[in-house]
Structure 1
Amino acid sequence: MAATLTVFYAFGGLTGILAIIGASSAGRGREALAGLVLAAFVAAAVMSRWGARWPRPAFHVVVAAGTTLIASAAVLSPDTATAMVYGAMMSFIAVDAFFFFRTTAAFLHMAGAVSAISAALQIRGDVPVFTALAVDAVIVALGVATRGLVLLASRATRDPLTGLTNRRGFDSALEELMAAATRTGLPLTAVLLDLDHFKQINDTDGHQAGDRVLRRVADVWRQALPADAVFARHGGDEFALLLPGTTGDQALDMVRRVTAEHADIGMSCGVAEHQIGDSAAQLMRRADSALYTAKAAGRGRAELDAGESSELVRDLAAALAAGEVFVHVQPVVDVASGRMIGVEALARWTHPVLGPVSPERFVALAEQNGLIAALGEHVLRTAVTQLTPLRLAVGGSLGLGINVSGRELCDPAYPQRVTAVLAESGWPASDVVLEVTESLLEAQSSAAVAALQVLRAAGLRVAIDDFGTGYSSLSRLDTLPVDILKFDSSFIATVAESPRRAQMLESIVGMARALGLSVVAEGVETSAQDEVLKRVGCTYAQGYLYGRPAPARELAAPWGRAHAAVAD
């Protein structure tokens, strides 16, 4: 809009100059026309510099101002011929209106332009009525023809099912918005949205049901998004979104809010903010990477690409190479005796400038920048090396919990990496527990489940971490490759104050025992919670009550002299 109006205003000014030069020297108003010409050039310069930042409604004002400028020039023209030149220029308004605005607004602008130029020519008194009507006819014809061409062109960039922009139109908009973002420095964020289990809808209810879902997604998001957003059907059950003037964090909040308001429409979303040097392909690749992370984490989620700091990624890679990502461990105890039976290994990284970096942040960086395999192997290798003396001190058996990401499990080489590290260290496979989130297993990734089955066959055990935060695990516990349930801390937090929660916990513990599953309660912080766990028969627990995450060497003292042999 800004670029087109800049051209029209600039050429309007140039046309004005030519008209003044060619006007009768005896006519009046040449000075006033010169002022209007100067105004047109100033307007063109302003739009060229700042127009790309303006919201869409601002262009209604710009087009209306053009109508006023042209009508004023026609009235002030020194002779009839010059007035007719300005009358013809009103066709710029019709083209602008029908090119930029919806049909109703475009007709209103054209009606205003026709009325203004008709009135201006009649005020002069030297233009016959039918001549003025002829000018009006030309303006209307150009407007209607422009609308027809716009509609014809839009069919090539519109999805016929949803009425949204299609892939071709999205790619065109992406190039334009990226150029604008580079020029203005304003943020731009891209989002990829994918319907969860859409194939199941088509297979179960038919393609017409699938089409209804796609149309509903289009309607819901169209109403929720700002006016300057570009929302497109990217192909199949995937949608794409461009949010100019919006940061990645703001876009993530918006996407999560909209998906939460329509929870019956299951969607996974990947968000990426444009960064200096990004090409269109790189931006969408980062959004796709975030979408993959959302799916691998359990679907029904929105994730932000962590590429906001390529320097931080380099620092993380250097820290991994230098062994500066450390491993802390937190005790897991037998509830009945209070004896430590295992630990959970937790990665910790302190940046030399930023200080401690949260695991959520640097693990996401690793997942999205090809470092997760190195990080996972480093944590496992460091843990088994540092904990071997403690394992021997407690009798040769010590459970070791290792958190595993969806991207690791989907790596065909992951099972081989794990078994190779265990073989080198001599750590028993039966003492290793792979902790995966409930939502990841709910994602039903065939590659992830297959990897878990291979590792279980090698002797490792599998735990569902954060159990109790998902929705359908209870119905699938007999089919998933799982040995241990780890109750999420949010579930345990109120177990001492809520008899109903305690009863629920006792029921699930009994069910798990009947299925041959062990149960670990996470986030235990009070003696009252510990007493409830003993009463309901929960086998294992971990939390601040028993010990905070700490380096392996510091874990020995709280557990007595038998553990004092821990080495670096």
Structure 2
Amino acid sequence: MMARVLATFYVAAGIAGLFAACAPGAESDGRWVILSLAAGALSAGAVTFRWGARWPRHAYHWPVASGAVLVALVVVSSPGPATAMAAAALLAFAAVDACFFFSLPLAWLHMAFGISAVTAALMVQGEVPLSIALALDSIVVALGTVVRGLVIRASSASRDPLTGLANRRGFDDSLHELRSASSRTTKVLSAALIDLDHFKRINDTAGHEEGDRVLCRIADVWGRELPPGAVLARHGGDEFALLLPGVTGPDAVALVRRIAAQHPDIGVSVGVAECRPGETAAELMRRADHALYDAKRAGRGRCELDGGTDLELIRDLAAALAAGDVQVHYQPIVALPDGDVVGVEALARWTHPERGPVPPGEFVAAAEQSGLIHALGDHVLRTACADLAGVRTAAGLQVTLGVNVSGRELSDPGCADRVQAALAATGFPAGHLVVEVTESLVEGESATALATLHALRAACLTVSIDDFGTGYSSLSRLDTLPADVLKLDRAFVATLDASPRRAQMLRSLVSMCRALGLDVVAEGVETPEQEAAVRAVGCTFAQGWLYGRAVPLAEFVAGPGMSGGRRVPRDVTSSVA
């Protein structure tokens, strides 16, 4: 919009200059000067039309100030007072530009500069009285002031009154402008839809004022962290929309995840889409909405990129699964307070032949987006069950196995049957298998996923809620969650020994869990001090680098945790995650 307005004014000024050069009485030298200035104005208009959309906002100070200088030069070169006054009236263009583009102090600075330059030029011209020049100046100031008021009034119709962000109307305007600019310049454009997880619960439990504060906080944090040129809008209710010109889809995902990490107590689900050549604005946002749906279906608190998965990585992962090259490592879980190893968590590991070790978060995300998650989950489950069937603790009991299950797997109606088929094929006892799911997934809206969990529990499997405390579960929900074990998020453990209030809170939580028949596992225990802290609050089990990292089966079985130690009662080992 800024480019179009500025270019239009430059072209209009150039045309006016051509007419001024034809004024009667103009000397040859003066006529050529005016023609040269008119040609410069027309050229500036053409350049602005072509490339102005790429300029940052601060770059517009130069063409606006140059326009005032150009008007002053035409005034000085005018053949008579009539032509000089007509040229001086073009200063209104610069005044409108300044009031339209810039803040009020900068707009007044531009108008003061332009008025001073043109008034001085009229005095140099010599045939225009000062009173007439001042009358013209007052008209220019009034015109700029009125235009600014109209601009502010018009822009308020595109603003959300609560957060100060653009509303849906303002977002749609920006989307069409950036989409058109992207098609002209081949500049990449990414769009994102941001949805607050369980926002209705905040309004219901803490009131709408607290909900409004959460919305304003999101607007402040994201507005501060986003790069220049980004457009953040409140799309409606608890949903925000984001445009990132010049940012690719994968980079947009990384940016969104970094910003979301700055408010871990406010969960967000995000769908991202990168604009494709020839794609309309509506199609772009439809794909972003589809990615948002995928993020919610996979358990919330996630950021998904529509169509952005590395196709080569997917092909290589599929080949690795077919060849059995995805390994399963095991991290020990110990019983407190004695510290005996009673179980393990199975974790997938993949070493790419060219890329080297691939982070689990990367290839698991690729598996979820590509549909390979079912094959990956089945491979980990069957491999782990086969590896650990018959493996005993130092007390002679079957090692309990924890396996992570994604939201997409649980949402498949055949999930429970596949788990039982794996147990039957490997001989692993169902009573020692723990299915680990995230808190946000259990709190989600998938009736199929919840039905699957109930079916698994009915088949004597144990359900563990992983990363408990990162979502919005209330204590009153503990008796209704389809779970036997809670795994405290490692963020609690990391600050437990430094926060007496948190220690007291967890002590109360553990007591409540015990009253409800739930075991509690502390994740991320890395130091003896943290172990002492989780033992003091009453956690049943612990897991972390203090007891061992995830290692291959042979190394785990040969480890010191598998020899010696006291016997753990069967009812405890059957529920450890």
TM-score, L = length of structure 1? 0.75
Matched position secondary structure for 1:366: helix
Task: Give the letter for the 2:356 counterpart.
Answer: G
RMSD: 5.0
Give structure 1 stretches of 5+ with no counterpart. 562-568
| Cross-structure match for 1:350 | 351
Q: Is the CA contact (8 Å cut-off) linking 1:158 and 1:164 kept in structure 2?
A: yes
| Cross-structure match for 1:69 | 70
**Per-residue CA distance 1:181-206 (angstroms, 9 max, x = gap):** 56667675544333444334555677
Query: Is structure 2 residue 254 aligned with structure 1 residue 253?
Result: no
Q: Would the alpha carbon gap of residues 439 and 232 (structure 1) be closer, same or farther in structure 2, given more than 3 Å must change?
A: same
Q: Would the alpha carbon gap of residues 274 and 183 (structure 1) be closer, same or farther in structure 2, given more than 3 Å must change?
A: farther
Give the deviation of 1:327 after TM superposition. 2.5
Give the deviation of 1:518 after TM superposition. 3.6
Q: Would the alpha carbon gap of residues 531 and 94 (structure 1) be closer, same or farther in structure 2, given more than 3 Å must change?
A: closer
Aligned pairs for 1:62-461 (under 5 A) are 62-80=63-81, 82-101=83-102, 106=107, 109=110, 113=114, 116-127=117-128, 150=151, 154=155, 157-159=158-160, 164-180=165-181, 190-200=191-201, 202-203=203-204, 228-244=229-245, 247-248=251-252, 249-257=254-262, 259=263, 266=266, 268-270=268-270, 272=272, 274=274, 277=277, 279=279, 280=281, 284=285, 288=289, 303=303, 305=305, 307=308, 309-320=310-321, 323-332=324-333, 341-388=342-389, 397-411=398-412, 414-422=415-423, 427-438=428-439, 440-441=441-442, 448-461=449-462
| Cross-structure match for 2:566 | none
| Cross-structure match for 2:567 | none
Count of aligned pairs between the two proteins = 555
Q: Is the CA contact (8 Å cut-off) linking 1:505 and 1:536 kept in structure 2?
A: yes
Q: Would the alpha carbon gap of residues 217 and 384 (structure 1) be closer, same or farther in structure 2, given more than 3 Å must change?
A: closer
Q: Would the alpha carbon gap of residues 42 and 316 (structure 1) be closer, same or farther in structure 2, given more than 3 Å must change?
A: farther
Q: Would the alpha carbon gap of residues 322 and 534 (structure 1) be closer, same or farther in structure 2, given more than 3 Å must change?
A: same
Aligned pairs for 1:459-538 (under 5 A) are 459-467=460-468, 476-487=477-488, 512-523=513-524
Give the deviation of 1:17 after TM superposition. 4.3
Q: Which moved more, 1:526-535 or 1:52-61?
A: 526-535
Matched position secondary structure for 1:430: helix
**Per-residue CA distance 1:408-433 (angstroms, 9 max, x = gap):** 44555544543454455554433321
Task: Give the letter for the 1:96 counterpart.
Answer: D
Matched position secondary structure for 2:481: coil
Q: Is the CA contact (8 Å cut-off) linking 2:7 and 2:48 kept in structure 1?
A: yes
Give structure 2 stretches of 5+ with no counterpart. 564-577
Q: Which moved more, 1:491-500 or 1:508-517?
A: 491-500
Q: Is the CA contact (8 Å cut-off) linking 1:442 and 1:473 kept in structure 2?
A: no
CA distance in 1, matches of 2:151, 2:498: 65
Task: Give the letter for the 2:431 counterpart.
Answer: S
| Cross-structure match for 1:20 | 21
Give the deviation of 1:91 after TM superposition. 3.7
CA distance in 1, matches of 2:462, 2:77: 88
Q: Would the alpha carbon gap of residues 255 and 4 (structure 1) be closer, same or farther in structure 2, given more than 3 Å must change?
A: farther
CA distance in 2, matches of 1:534, 1:231: 45
Matched position secondary structure for 1:40: helix
Q: Would the alpha carbon gap of residues 390 and 135 (structure 1) be closer, same or farther in structure 2, given more than 3 Å must change?
A: same
Matched position secondary structure for 1:231: strand
Give the deviation of 1:434 after TM superposition. 1.0
Matched position secondary structure for 1:330: strand
Q: Would the alpha carbon gap of residues 227 and 535 (structure 1) be closer, same or farther in structure 2, given more than 3 Å must change?
A: closer
**Per-residue CA distance 1:4-58 (angstroms, 9 max, x = gap):** 3234334534543454356645354344435534543564465456543433233
Give the deviation of 1:238 after TM superposition. 1.3
Give the deviation of 1:462 after TM superposition. 0.8
**Per-residue CA distance 1:509-537 (angstroms, 9 max, x = gap):** 66655433344454566789889999998
Give the deviation of 1:554 after TM superposition. 5.6
**Per-residue CA distance 1:416-455 (angstroms, 9 max, x = gap):** 5434544555544333211123455566876654442232
Q: Would the alpha carbon gap of residues 321 and 3 (structure 1) be closer, same or farther in structure 2, given more than 3 Å must change?
A: farther
TM-score, L = length of structure 2? 0.74
**Per-residue CA distance 1:261-314 (angstroms, 9 max, x = gap):** xx6xx4525274746659445654565566557767876x57474937454345
Q: Would the alpha carbon gap of residues 502 and 88 (structure 1) be closer, same or farther in structure 2, given more than 3 Å must change?
A: closer
Give the deviation of 1:75 after TM superposition. 1.6
Q: Would the alpha carbon gap of residues 160 and 23 (structure 1) be closer, same or farther in structure 2, given more than 3 Å must change?
A: farther
